[in-house]
């Protein structure tokens, strides 16, 4: 399928979301669409998937002008979308959700086909598992499988890497390239220039509703990004002076062996006040095991010792198996997990409900304080589901920091953020360092590792110290 839009626009009373966009999405290719929050990406894909009508312009499929009266109409023409936060039936299983809308709830042949497809997408997914028990990555896989069962001519993916680690992203794009080779037109919305350059055929950049750049060769779109302002550069200089910092956290003999995921074996790590400690991985799927174990969310085969140190160096040592999110919070640790949507929040909540979980203060009053801190123009009554990934991350960070933690654990901090949001987050992390907080980054992809005092590498479940500026 060749999908072409000419002079496409979408205007509201107070805002023009799209302004005269002309693009051709050819078949047998992966097309990436880049842009910061508010650039018009979501509006564009909503029009292309039939859920939003344009104010002007034309849409062509294989040279024939068409228009969509609904999302169902777009699907009837072979266009399917997999959204960042798919709407799924929480109390139904993965398999039942995929079968919804097909008119088929039984049938061995169809069921076996779906199970085979699921295994190709994610071997660890359980078809009979209820959706309410799944994280963002497997909700995405379920939605993807539900789209692929129809063998679409054009597949649109809205921020597909938002819930995926590096290894999962690589596997996803391998699948997408296979589908493109078979003739499918694939459109991917992403914030990551590096991801687009490495995996797409073309790149379209939107800015404030207009077509900013088009790259017929995706690799040409890759450009260096400057995260550092004069202020942050000063913080970096102060951080790297060689000052001896006090220890904040130490783990030793840390092992975790979950049933259906790669293990972590005998890991050791130290984090210090006033420093950034990063844990990286070359696509190792054991990184998620490490995150869940350290954040008190995984208990299978968990062993080892975790020691917390106050600013006065008073030590509190516990067994790793006794770690819980509540224990971490009570001992001055804030956790921002990689799954911000379903583990750190809930799309069904209002912003006020999501932000007030740690306080007895009036929910709306608390929310207003944190919204101001996050510098976001929203209201407490808005739904969490309406927020972009960058907005949600900033609000969660503001909420967690409101407890005045001594240690901040951030998992995949840059994932799903546009360049401007990445820069803001980078500077916020540096401000924590200047306040003598300890920061651990798990999955530090796209974070400037030159800012880190310690960098650990996790490979095949084994954690190694690969870089250290100070001995502690």
Give yes or no: residues 210 and 235 share one domain: no
Percent of the chain surpassing pLDDT 70: 92
**37, part of any domain:** yes
Helix (H, G, I), strand (E, B) or coil at 444: coil
Neighbours of 66 (CB within 10 A): 13
CATH number of the domain that 241 lies in? 3.40.50.300
**9, part of any domain:** yes
> What mean pLDDT comes out for the span 355-384?
87
Could you say which of 166, 198, 221 is where a domain stops?
Answer: 221
> What mean pLDDT comes out for the span 308-319?
94
Give yes or no: residues 237 and 207 share one domain: no
Number of domains in the chain: 2
Average pLDDT of the chain is: 87
> What mean pLDDT comes out for the span 286-314?
93
Query: Who has greater pLDDT, 237 or 119?
Result: 119
Give yes or no: residues 50 and 17 share one domain: yes
Give yes or no: residues 153 and 200 share one domain: yes
Residues 377-434: pLDDT tens digits? 889 999 988 887 778 888 999 999 999 999 999 998 887 777 777 788 888 899 999 9
**369, part of any domain:** no
Give yes or no: residues 236 and 127 share one domain: no
**83, part of any domain:** yes
Give yes or no: residues 99 and 246 share one domain: no
Cα–Cα distances in Å, from 460 out to 265, 296, 463? Answer: 9, 21, 8
Residues 53-86: pLDDT tens digits? 999 999 999 999 999 999 999 999 999 999 888 8
Give yes or no: residues 65 and 194 share one domain: yes
Give yes or no: residues 175 and 237 share one domain: no
Mean pLDDT is lowest, of 259-263, 267-271, 335-339, 410-414, for 259-263
Helix runs in 106-159, H state only: 108-121, 136-148
Is 60 exceeded by the pLDDT of residue 91?
yes
> What mean pLDDT comes out for the span 1-14?
91
Is 70 exceeded by the pLDDT of residue 185?
yes
CB-based contacts of 86-90 (< 8 A; 24+ apart in sequence):
86/139, 86/140, 86/142, 86/143, 88/131, 88/139, 88/142, 88/143, 89/131, 90/130, 90/131, 90/132
Query: Who has greater pLDDT, 117 or 351?
Result: 351
Q: What pLDDT is recorded for position 230? A: 47
Query: Who has greater pLDDT, 17 or 418?
Result: 17
Give yes or no: residues 80 and 172 share one domain: yes
Give yes or no: residues 55 and 129 share one domain: yes
**371, part of any domain:** no
Give yes or no: residues 313 and 460 share one domain: yes
Give yes or no: residues 56 and 121 share one domain: yes
**β-bridge pairing 303-309 and 210-215:** unpaired
Among 187, 192, 203, which Cα is nearest to 147's? 187
Helix (H) or strand (E) holding 289: helix 286-294
Question: Do 282 and 456 meet the contact criterion of CB atoms below 8 Å apart?
Answer: no
Q: What pLDDT is recorded for position 107? A: 60
Q: Taking the CA atoms of 288, 289, 295 and 296 in sequence, report the sign of the dihedral they define.
A: positive
List, in sequence order, every beta strand (DSSP E) within 89-197. 154-158, 185-189
> Furthest-apart CA pair in the chain: how many Å?
73
**40, part of any domain:** yes
**379, part of any domain:** no
Could you say which of 221, 238, 263 is where a domain stops?
Answer: 221
Helix axes 363-374, 389-401, angle to 10 degrees: 110
Could you say which of 163, 188, 221 is where a domain stops?
Answer: 221
**358, part of any domain:** no
Domain interval for residue 184: 3-221
């Amino acid at each position: 399928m060749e999908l072409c839009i000419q002079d496409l626009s979408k205007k509201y009373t107070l805002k023009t979301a799209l302004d005269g966009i002309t693009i051709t999405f050819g078949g047998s290719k992966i097309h990436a669409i880049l842009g910061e929050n508010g650039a018009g990406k979501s509006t564009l894909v909503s029009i292309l998937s039939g859920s939003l009508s344009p104010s002007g312009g034309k849409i062509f499929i294989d040279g024939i002008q068409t228009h969509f009266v609904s999302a169902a109409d777009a699907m009837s023409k072979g266009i399917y979308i997999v959204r960042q936060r798919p709407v799924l039936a929480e109390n139904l299983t993965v398999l039942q959700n995929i079968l919804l809308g097909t008119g088929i709830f039984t049938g061995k042949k169809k069921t076996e086909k779906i199970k085979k497809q699921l295994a190709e997408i994610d071997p660890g997914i359980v078809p009979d598992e209820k959706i309410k028990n799944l994280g963002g990555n497997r909700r995405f896989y379920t939605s993807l499988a539900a789209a692929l069962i129809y063998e679409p001519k054009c597949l649109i993916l809205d921020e597909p890497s938002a819930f995926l680690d590096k290894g999962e992203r690589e596997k996803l794009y391998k699948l997408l390239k296979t589908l493109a080779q078979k003739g499918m037109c694939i459109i991917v919305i992403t914030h990551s220039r590096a991801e687009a350059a490495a995996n797409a055929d073309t790149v379209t950049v939107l800015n404030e509703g207009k077509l900013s750049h088009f790259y017929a060769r995706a690799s040409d779109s890759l450009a260096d990004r400057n995260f550092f302002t004069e202020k942050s550069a000063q913080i970096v200089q102060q951080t790297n002076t060689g000052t001896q910092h006090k220890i904040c956290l130490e783990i030793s003999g840390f092992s975790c062996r979950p049933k259906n995921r790669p293990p972590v074996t005998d890991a050791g790590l130290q984090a210090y006040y006033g420093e950034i400690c990063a844990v990286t991985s070359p696509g190792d799927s054991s990184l998620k095991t490490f995150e869940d174990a350290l954040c008190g969310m995984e208990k299978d085969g968990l062993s080892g010792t975790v020691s917390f140190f106050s600013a006065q160096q008073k030590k509190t040592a516990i067994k790793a198996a006794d770690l819980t999110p509540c224990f971490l919070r009570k001992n001055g640790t804030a956790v921002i997990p990689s799954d911000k949507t379903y583990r750190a929040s809930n799309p069904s909540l209002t912003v006020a409900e999501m932000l007030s979980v740690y306080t007895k203060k009036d929910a709306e009053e608390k929310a207003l304080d944190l919204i101001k801190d996050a510098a976001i123009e929203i209201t407490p009554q808005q739904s969490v589901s309406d927020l972009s990934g960058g907005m949600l991350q900033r609000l969660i960070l503001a909420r967690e920091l409101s407890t005045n933690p001594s240690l901040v654990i951030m998992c995949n901090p840059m994932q799903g953020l546009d360049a401007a949001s990445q820069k803001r987050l980078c500077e916020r992390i540096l401000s924590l360092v200047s306040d003598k907080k300890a920061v651990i980054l798990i999955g530090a992809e796209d974070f400037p590792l030159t800012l880190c005092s310690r960098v650990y590498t996790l490979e095949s479940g084994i954690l190694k110290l690969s870089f250290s500026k100070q001995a502690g």
